[in-house]
Amino acid sequence: MMKSLAVKAITVLLVATFGIGTACAAESLQDVMKRRSLSQQDLLSAAKTYTPSGKRDEFVAFSSGGQSGQVIIYGIPSMRILKYLAVFTPEPWQGYGYDEESKEVLKGGWIDGKEITWGDTHHPAISETNGQYDGQFLFINDKANPRIAVIDLRDYETKQIVVNPVFKSEHGGAFVTPNTDYVIEASQYAAPLEPKKFYPLEEFNDKYRGGITYWKFDRGAGRIDTSKSFSIELPPYSQDLSDAGKGPSDGWSFTNSFCSERYVGGIERGRPPFEAGCSAKDTDYMHVINWEKAAKLVAQGKAKKINGHDVLMIDTAVKEGILFLIPEPKSPHGVDVTPDGKFIIVSGKLDTHVSVFSFEKIMAAIKAGKFESKDPYGIPVISMQDTLHTQVALGLGPLHTQYDSKKCIAYTSLYVDSQVAKWDYCEGKVLDKISVHYNIGHLMTMEGDSVNPKGRYLVALNKLAIDRFNPVGPLHPQNHQLIDISNDKMQLLYDMPLPLGEPHYAVAIEASKLKPAVRYKVGTNSRTDKPHPGAARAGEERIERNGNKVTVYGTLIRSHITPEIIEVDVGDEVTINLTNLERAEDETHGFTVSTYNVHASAEPGKTVSVKFKADKEGVYPYYCTEFCSALHLEMQGYLLVKPKGWKPAPSKEIAKATYTEEDYRATLKKIADTQAVIDVVVGYITSTNYKDFPDVVNMVDDATDQLNRIAGAKTKYEAAAAKKDWEQANLWAEQVFQYQVKAADIGLRAKTYLEQNGAKKVK
């Protein structure tokens, strides 16, 4: 041992002094450029994106996860993925769908009593205060099964899933009003509003409907209040994207549509297909809605209850003057309100133009009662000419628009051209274009749909990657391309493969606005934010039986699961509650029981539970699934499922190892040595102003927890030694050593933290 260490030390010295042992001297920047065929431009891009070890990103992006039903979180400009956040789909790492608390959240998303385990997420939205991102909540929609999820950014957990009570599909959500009073969700494919109601397609125009739901968000509760939410009935035009007005247009919302032809396909019945009939007319309709007044009408009882939900019918909406239509170039996609709230920009997917509508002109026409016609449902139609500010030819397939921090500057994705166009919507002129790879859908600038966009970067969310990455089979990753927009010319910086579903939209917020917690108050159910009835503190662990129901109140702390043995009878219903007693940052424990398909992730302070029927007799190890300490592998236990009528044999004891007095003395020596180390660390910490560092205070509390357990174990080893039971004496002494090791580990981390964060000597 000594010898090998010495050899190692000498080798290190030789390498450091003479470069012996390395192939050649360190490469210069020029060498690396040559070897990797990098241009000056590449180096500039690298310098703009490379985030050195330990440094953090300026912005955090929340991307839809498409068919994965999740949210993908990454940093900008490094484009490093930080988390896949489970929303509509079970996700085992987070225990989502494998512990009881998250199952309750997922259950909120069941439809007609049916479990739904996937979602098609499209549009994430960050909560806003006065039109600015506030970093408190995130919302995202499920297009396939019309639902909205609420994620709390204090702990990045999905708290609620609400099912739309009147739609069968949706798309134009989630978009928030400037103070997050409402979360907007528009339907997509028209269907009868009543649940489980059948009407033949021949009755499409009469019985099928679209609509928009305004979900009332209760910020204090951090949940959508379904009882105060309402919808507006709309014609069976396929409503598409939405956006809320802001500034002068606050109180209004805009939703466009396609297939206002109300065409019904059916090749099998000899009819031309949907795509032909749905793009026959030159225009579709933008819906202009006064949601603020709509909410008042609902409060006055003017809505009709459908499936227990308030719906303002078209007739009422028309009579009360809250619903208007404006023709827009056919098959439009994005509808995006400018940061100042004065214009609404609509992209006509099949047109080369983007159309800039003026809110002021819209209001003037409404005020003057100047309408060009009514649609078949009696909704007043305002003329396009009366409301257009300008139209700009950008290129083929314009889809979505985002804004810059610079006035009047917008960026629009061009799907067919595979380009991003930078243009001026006040003057109506194109400023720059850049090619992307390939077929861009949405694009995103930093806080680019708020009243206060931050500029700097743009991400192109491309639909195809084709040849950009190492091939991984016929299914390719998505490609999010980072573009620098801080100068007049856009510059492509980075390709990021995104290997999870097809993201549609993403939103990015200044990282400094996000302030997630590092721990829960001990015993919290993270999905309800309330104290968990199954919580236990140290010393309160127990197993209770009530008939065939066994409930475990357990705890987790490095490196120990209490209890270590759970005995049940075959057929028992077992609930295991676990509270993580840790306070230190990132000290998560996981929990699973062999072959019972349960898993939980218990972050510091959290209480989680897993539940299953012990329907097969046998021996099932359980263990901690997160590598949490040097003795993580020993963080284990046994679930014993006993056969019916099984009785233990009278004299059997658990197999013993044999220890001698010598072993016991050696362990005592080890304890004394370790204590000396701990004393030095404690001496250092208490000599500083450590109380000024809340993170260190928490670490010290955790370490003290471990040290406080020593007294009990010490009494046991001394009693055993007095009886010359060296087996017991040695094992309890070893346990004391384990408490010391964990305390020392935390203590050393606290010491490093203090050294790195400029703690001052006070003694």
Binding site for ligand CUK (CB under 6 A): 122-123, 171, 241, 333, 399-400, 441-442, 504-505
Contact 303, 311 (CB under 8 A): yes
Segment lying near ligand CUA (by CB under 6 A), choices 149-157, 255-263, 332-340, 626-634: 626-634
Q: How many residues bind ligand CUA (CB under 6 A)?
A: 8
Q: Is 632 in the site for ligand CUA (CB under 6 A)?
A: yes
Tokens matching residue 416: 């067919």
Taking CB within 5 to 8 Å according to partner kind, which of ligand CUK, ligand CUA, none is near residue 333?
ligand CUK
67 or 548: CB nearest ligand CUK: 67
DSSP code of residue 438: S
Alpha helices in 193-326 (DSSP H): 204-207, 274-277, 291-299, 314-319
Q: Is 600 in the site for ligand CUA (CB under 6 A)?
A: no
The whole-angstrom separation of Cα 394 and Cα 383 is 23
699: number of CA atoms within 13 Å, CB side? 26
* Binding letters toward ligand CUA, positions 640-669, x by CB under 6 A: ------------------------------
Taking CB within 5 to 8 Å according to partner kind, which of ligand CUA, ligand CUK, none is near residue 125?
none
Q: Which of 443, 568, 608, 628 binds ligand CUA (CB under 6 A)?
A: 628
Q: Is 310 exposed, middle or buried (0-12, 13-18, 19+ CB in 10 A)?
A: buried
Q: Is residue 23 helix, strand or coil?
A: coil
Segment lying near ligand CUA (by CB under 6 A), choices 136-144, 370-378, 627-635, 698-706: 627-635
The nearest distance, CB 241 to ligand CUK, in angstroms, is 6
Taking CB within 5 to 8 Å according to partner kind, which of ligand CUA, ligand CUK, none is near residue 670?
none
Taking CB within 5 to 8 Å according to partner kind, which of ligand CUK, ligand CUA, none is near residue 624?
ligand CUA
610 or 628: CB nearest ligand CUA: 628
Taking CB within 5 to 8 Å according to partner kind, which of ligand CUA, ligand CUK, none is near residue 605?
none
Taking CB within 5 to 8 Å according to partner kind, which of ligand CUK, ligand CUA, none is near residue 483?
none
Q: Is 606 in the site for ligand CUA (CB under 6 A)?
A: no
The whole-angstrom separation of Cα 633 and Cα 558 is 11
Contact 340, 304 (CB under 8 A): no
What Å distances lie between residue 305 and 6, 231, 308, 396, 737, CA to CA? 83, 10, 5, 44, 67
Find out whether the peptide bond into 672 is cis, omega within 30 degrees of 0.
no
* Binding letters toward ligand CUA, positions 528-567, x by CB under 6 A: -------------------------------x--------
What one-letter code names the amino acid at 164?
N
For residue 370, how many other CB atoms are within 10 A of its CB?
A: 12
103 or 171: CB nearest ligand CUK: 171
Q: Is residue 723 helix, strand or coil?
A: coil
Q: Please report where in the chains the tokens 């159910």 appear, as a residue.
A: 525
Taking CB within 5 to 8 Å according to partner kind, which of ligand CUA, ligand CUK, none is near residue 442?
ligand CUK
Taking CB within 5 to 8 Å according to partner kind, which of ligand CUA, ligand CUK, none is near residue 505?
ligand CUK
Nearest of 377, 422, 375 to residue 395 by alpha carbon: 422
Contact 61, 74 (CB under 8 A): yes
Residues with Cβ within 8 Å of residue 164, at least 6 apart in sequence: 146, 147, 148, 170, 185, 187, 213
Q: Which of 589, 606, 709, 751 binds ligand CUA (CB under 6 A)?
A: 589
The nearest distance, CB 382 to ligand CUK, in angstroms, is 25
Q: Please report where in the chains the tokens 């190692």 appear, as a residue.
A: 8
The whole-angstrom separation of Cα 719 and Cα 437 is 74
**Cα radius of gyration rounded to whole Å, the chain:** 31
The whole-angstrom separation of Cα 23 and Cα 10 is 18
The whole-angstrom separation of Cα 185 and Cα 173 is 4
The nearest distance, CB 185 to ligand CUK, in angstroms, is 13
123 or 154: CB nearest ligand CUK: 123
Q: Please report where in the chains the tokens 């400018």 appear, as a residue.
A: 338
124 or 523: CB nearest ligand CUA: 523
167 or 622: CB nearest ligand CUK: 167
DSSP code of residue 513: G
498 or 581: CB nearest ligand CUA: 581
Q: Is 284 in the site for ligand CUA (CB under 6 A)?
A: no
Taking CB within 5 to 8 Å according to partner kind, which of ligand CUA, ligand CUK, none is near residue 626?
ligand CUA
171 or 560: CB nearest ligand CUK: 171
The nearest distance, CB 346 to ligand CUK, in angstroms, is 13
The whole-angstrom separation of Cα 405 and Cα 425 is 14
The whole-angstrom separation of Cα 735 and Cα 718 is 13
Residue with nearest beta carbon to ligand CUK: 441
Consecutive H or E run containing 233: strand 223-234
10 or 565: CB nearest ligand CUA: 565
The nearest distance, CB 137 to ligand CUK, in angstroms, is 20
Give the phi and the psi of residue 25 in degrees, each rounded to 5.
-65, 160
Q: Is 624 in the site for ligand CUA (CB under 6 A)?
A: yes
State the residues that interact with ligand CUA by CB under 6 A.
559, 589, 624, 626-628, 632, 635
